[in-house]
Chain A
Amino acid sequence: MNMSHETWIDIGALADIPREGGRVVKTRAGCVAVFRAADDTVFALDDRCPHKGGPLSEGIVHGHSVTCPLHAWVFDMGTGTAQGADEGQVGTYPVRVEAGRVLLDGARLMQGRAA
């Protein structure tokens, strides 16, 4: 919550992420999935489905949601909350795009998942 600790890390160009697709950033606390929606909004979530650990980065992106590739749970990428009948939550990370570069909040990343 303390914004003064923000340390934005440049993880690559927006163009490196396909529209309606995702890429992975490896961290010591596990992988983070970085998604780019059709409208170029970027989201960062833990790359581990709370159901059985499916790699969300490989899911189909639709609107601001992503469907897990293993058993089709659907998550709101903004909040990390499972939609519909399924109950689950994935951690989300602050992310922003500046001058075509994607920046992740390093402080939050280092704190580990779902802080």
Chain B
Amino acid sequence: MMAEKLVIIGAGMASGRMLEHLIEAAPGRYDVTLFNAEPRGNYNRIMLSPVLSGEKTYADIVTHDADWYAAQGVDCRFGEPVVKIDRERKIVYSNQGGVPYDKLVIATGSAPFIIPVAGKELPGVCTYRDLEDTNAMIAAAKPGAKAVVIGGGLLGLEAAAGMQLRGAEVTVIHLMGHLMERQLDPAAGYLLQKALEARGITVHCKGATKAILGKERVEAVLLDDGTIYDADLVCMAVGIRPETRLANDAHLEVNRGIVVDDQLRSSDPAIFAIGECVEHNSQLFGLVAPLYDQAKVLAATLADAEAVFRPVQTATKLKVTGCDLFSAGDFADGPGREDIVFRDPGRGVYKRLVLEGDKLIGAVMYGDTADGSWFFGLIKDGTDVTGMRDTLIFGPGFAGGAKADPMAAVAALPPEAEICGCNGVCKGKIVSAIEGGANTLDLVRASTKASASCGTCTGLVEQVLAVTLGDSFVMPAAQPMCKCTDHTHEDVRRLIKAQGLKSIPAVMQELGWRSVGGCASCRPALNYYLLADWPLDYRDDRQARFVNERNHANIQKDGTYSVVPRMWGGVTTPAELRAIADAADKYAVPMVKVTGGQRIDLLGVKKEDLPAIWADLNDAGMVSGHAYSKGLRTVKTCVGSEFCRFGTQDSTGLGIKLEKLLWGSWTPAKVKLAVSGCPRNCAEATCKDVGVVCVDSGYQISVAGAAGMDVKETEFLCAVATEEEAMEVIAAFVQLYRENSRYLHRIYKWVAKVGLDWCKAQVVEDLANRKALAERFEISQSVYRRDPWAEHAQRPADWAPMMDLTREAAE
């Protein structure tokens, strides 16, 4: 029997998936001819955004290459748009000629909507739909170039973030009051806007575009309110409409999209339609998950099997690295609806659940979306959530009073639970792929397609891998705190406070640590979190500390140590220098060095000598310089008004006061300060964690600088008139950092996450909060502002060998 002729118009995401299923279900059943207007075959369109931002290349996102089409015997007509369908004679025509069909599939997707303003045809105006658009944006988004994106929805923001990453100055103009209003409520939209602004993208909401200006090509965008934004490129991303022109011309039934029944059949029984160009039960589609369901149904129909298309709920995630948001279901306010809201401004986290009766019907999350799939599952399944209402917002870890362990939650999922929404892959299918040998994320992707589209479910797939393979699967590093747990640092900090956990074993027990006793990476972090959160209740666990902090000295490569006494504000005295010199002689110190921190380092001291050298230095009035600690290191100063002809304030004096205020405090990572007496800035205050530059009117405080692995100038926090205010602001700011940052993040990394504006709101604008923070700092300092050397110098035996057998007789 002759194979039937199947012609497909459009090689997009829907038809590509449909062909795969069809070839699997009915190999050789059809002679396939595939037309595509784009001069290429099928690629993963949703991954154009990573291509635009430079995180992926086009080659990475091709789903079907020439070899695949050849192997399946598909006659490819790429770069050949279909211009006409002759239903009577069953022929489709491209500009190259006609091809007859027995069955026809229209899969022409959508066309971007172009707002009808003057200048819309100017060169330099593009949309965001295909590789050509992407390449045009890549070419235009040179460092310093100006780009304007019209439309602050999913596509517009991905375009904006991508161009910004390539160095362009990007402005987003959005008609509505907040970004992504179709997916986000105003609070989440606000957080998103703040996050985008923090990375340098200008956002103009409630902005209506009046005209695109320019002579030869685009030069600027004019808004109704008179604002003008210069532009070398304008990207219009205001929406899409189904591409129905061929169907219209052929007099198929078309509303907003091509009308299809449950089998994706159009009003002509020989013609089917699939993808964004269709309308099913008055509904249009704009995300791939339901299109993949359509693909399954149409493949079955074409293979003469029975199948019915039922649209599923979809969830949205923005593919902008660093902006975590998730929304699903219905979250409009309404009678009988109730909200559960969780906010953690410190981490920029917002979660809102919308309940109707005993069911969850909507979820919006910003900042921490780890539980998104779980909420989505509850929405789709219409689960009765009455029993877990109290803890619902904290996610599956808490549901039903179980341990806060995401792995346990994944382990408990039934085999039919959907993991990958894009591709409709359930847990059971992933587990059987893993058991069949797919023991890495890539292999699971290759064999099941799970996490192969938008990537939102990657974390879940990894958890399924981990649950199935046990220890032989190592979770990728970035997210969890360490391999002993799946919790992130942020989760652990939150749970320590929320559950009142006050010891390392309590944390490991209650949060379901997988290892016995943790590891060298989580123990120090937990010790810090506990002592920072419970300064009066928790006792520092020396054994959880890295050698330098345990021994209050930096270990050297040969196992000896360095000893750095404090020189407050870089000021010393002849008596101190004499004591240092004496100590260097007495303990045969191999090197005496002036450090980059305005003090003196005695290098190469033997461990057993440490208590004695400390005692000697203590006797001369010196204390530990904490050159080894995640804590206050140095406060560098310049000579300032006491001696310098330009000095405006006593920078040396303030530096010493600050050092005496802050010393001994433990912080997530090291903290360095400097105070300069005038803007000449001889103390290099503008590259420190906290820097003060004195001016005639007072003190300019700036924060979040760095001069180590990254070099970064500080950012202005505030100006104050008096030393007292400066000290209070700085104590409050350091406390804010101590309470919120993850372990090992320097201040500049933490500020990049929470935003300087938030810090300002906490310690500059809110005076009561500033006081409260400074008071909490003082409470902690009542425990920790003391010299560890003095304490340990009393117990030299602890530093000596337990036993010396070198003089023991051999027999």
Binding site for B on A (CB under 8 A): 9, 11-12, 16-21, 23-28, 31, 34, 37-38, 52-55, 58-65, 67, 69-70, 72, 74, 109-110
Contact = CB atoms under 8 A, between A and B. Distances in A.
A38 B517 contact: yes
Given A26-B801, A63-B517, A19 B543 contact: yes
A105 to B, nearest CB: 12
Nearest to A11: B803
Interface residues on B, range: 20 to 34
B520 A28 contact: no
In terms of DSSP, what is the predominant structure of the interface of chain B? loop
B543 A21 contact: yes
B555 A62 contact: no
B527 to A, nearest CB: 10
Interface string B536-557: 0000001111110011000101
B557 A62 contact: no
A25 B803 CA distance: 5
A72 B801 CA distance: 23
B518 interface: yes
A52 B557 CA distance: 8
A26 B803 contact: yes
Contact of A17 (B546, B547, B802, B805): B802
A58 B553 CA distance: 12
Closest A-B pairs by Cβ, 7 of them: A67-B520, A23-B802, A69-B547, A63-B516, A20-B543, A60-B520, A11-B803
Contacts of A23: 801-802
Contacts of A24: 801-802
B795 to A, nearest CB: 12
13 contacts: A9-B805, A11-B805, A18-B542, A21-B542, A24-B802, A25-B802, A28-B806, A37-B517, A53-B558, A62-B515, A62-B516, A67-B520, A72-B520
B524 interface: yes
A54 B548 CA distance: 13
A27 B806 contact: yes
Nearest to A19: B543
B802 A16 contact: yes
Given A55-B559, A62-B523, A27 B802 contact: no
B225 interface: no
A68 B558 CA distance: 13
B478 interface: no
Contacts of B523: 60, 62
B83 interface: no
Contacts of B803: 9, 11-12, 25-26
B446 interface: no
Contacts of B287: none
Contacts of B515: 62-63
B804 interface: yes
Nearest to B805: A27
Given A20-B543, A62-B515, A74 B520 contact: yes
B541 to A, nearest CB: 8
A59 B518 CA distance: 14
B520 A58 contact: no
A4 B545 CA distance: 41
A115 to B, nearest CB: 15
B498 interface: no
Nearest to A34: B802
B519 interface: yes
B810 interface: yes
Nearest to A110: B810
Nearest to A13: B802
A27 B555 CA distance: 22
Interface of B: 515-520, 523-524, 542-547, 550-551, 555, 557-559, 801-806, 808, 810
Contact of A62 (B517, B551, B804): B517
Given A38-B517, A62-B518, A31 B801 contact: yes
A54 B559 contact: yes
Contacts of B550: 58
Contacts of A54: 559
Contact of A11 (B547, B557, B559, B802): B802
B474 to A, nearest CB: 9
B305 to A, nearest CB: 50
Nearest to A10: B803
Nearest to A64: B516
Contacts of A60: 519-520, 523-524, 543-546
A62 B550 CA distance: 15
Nearest to B561: A58
Contacts of A16: 802
Given A21-B543, A62-B518, A67-B519, A28 B555 contact: no
A14 to B, nearest CB: 11
Q: Which of A11, A17, A54, A69 has the most CB of B within 10 A?
A: A69
Contacts of A26: 801, 803-806
Contact of B555 (A9, A25, A58): A58
Nearest to B803: A11
A72 B546 CA distance: 10
A103 to B, nearest CB: 11
A60 B520 CA distance: 6
Nearest to B558: A53
B164 to A, nearest CB: 37
B448 to A, nearest CB: 28
A58 B517 contact: no
Nearest to A58: B547
Contacts of B519: 60, 62, 65, 67, 74
Given A18-B542, A18-B543, A74-B520, A58 B551 contact: yes
A45 to B, nearest CB: 14
A20 B524 CA distance: 13
Nearest to A54: B559
B57 to A, nearest CB: 30
A100 to B, nearest CB: 14
Given A18-B542, A52-B557, A69-B546, A62 B801 contact: no
Nearest to A60: B520
A38 B518 CA distance: 11
Given A11-B803, A67-B520, A74-B520, 14 more contacts: A16-B802, A18-B542, A20-B544, A26-B801, A26-B804, A26-B805, A27-B806, A38-B516, A54-B559, A58-B547, A58-B559, A60-B544, A69-B555, A72-B520
A21 B517 CA distance: 12
